[in-house]
Amino acid sequence: MAMIHYFNKFLLLLLFQGVVSGGLKADKEALLDFATVVVPHSGHRRLQLMGWSHKKAAQICSSWLGVTCNPDRSRVAGLRLPRMGLAGAIPENTIRRLDALQTLNLQNNRLSGSIPPSLKRFPASSFRGKLFLCGPPLSHQCPPLHQHYIYAQPPSPSRSLLAHRLLLSQIPNSGPQTSPEAIKKPNKNVILIAVLGVVLACIAFFIMWRCHRKWKREKRERIKPVSEAPAPTN
């Protein structure tokens, strides 16, 4: 009877370890998927310094910077990554998979775009600082969908100029618009006129040359009879 009791405990222990390992493994994959999107390529070295890598799932609770687990170390309960240089839109199907997550801190990064619906349950302080996010739980709403591409990236000199040009291209112009073909047309006309002028000049020169030759030939014919006339005899 005692053997059966200990055997049942052993099975429960194995089952518990399997559940814990499976939960942490799923959390690890979710965190790595999140980091793959929001950590720039130049920041992969930062991930190594943070201890984030494809190691054993149990090390998430002890060696992954910014990650805390619940008391029994079965799931990730906290994610604190302020001032880590994270950039881009928050991927929808990443942090949402952290089912036991209770604390989230993404302050003072370069994250942008709309906050995924699965993260609206966290307070606005989780997204405080130099972020370019919009939508709940923040007070400012996201712009319309056709303008969202401008808001989806943090402003930089080049991106701001590009966005300004895109906006100008979308504003209807009440004045007459000149197409590229119309702009190029005067150049073609100028070339055509120049070529035509050269051709006409060549034709005029050829006509003048022929007239000059004809005039010289007629002049020689008029002078020749006089020079060949016989001298008078006494």
pLDDT per position as a tens digit, 195-204: 888 888 889 8
pLDDT of residue 192: 80
pLDDT of residue 29: 92
pLDDT of residue 14: 39
pLDDT of residue 123: 94
Q: 19: pLDDT confidence band, cut at 50, 70 and 90?
A: very low
Q: What is the CA radius of gyration of the chain?
A: 43
Architecture of domain 11-155: Alpha-Beta Horseshoe (3.80)
Question: What are the domain boundaries of the chain?
Answer: 11-155
Instruction: Report the chain's mean pLDDT, rounded to a whole number.
Output: 74
Question: Considering the chain, what percentage of its residues have pLDDT values greater than 70?
Answer: 61
47 close to 72: Cβ distance less than 8 angstroms: no
CA pseudo-torsion sign 127, 128, 134, 139? positive
CA atoms within 13 A on the CB side of 228: 6
Mean pLDDT on 199-214 = 87
65 close to 90: Cβ distance less than 8 angstroms: no
pLDDT of residue 147: 47
pLDDT of residue 230: 57
58-117 pLDDT, tens digit per residue, is: 688 888 999 999 999 899 999 999 998 889 999 989 999 999 999 999 999 989 999 999
pTM: 0.54
Mean pLDDT on 147-176 = 46
pLDDT of residue 159: 43
CA 146 to CA 149: how far, in whole Å? 7
pLDDT of residue 171: 44
117 close to 91: Cβ distance less than 8 angstroms: no
User: Bigger pLDDT: 166 or 98?
Assistant: 98
Q: Is the pLDDT of residue 122 over 60?
A: yes
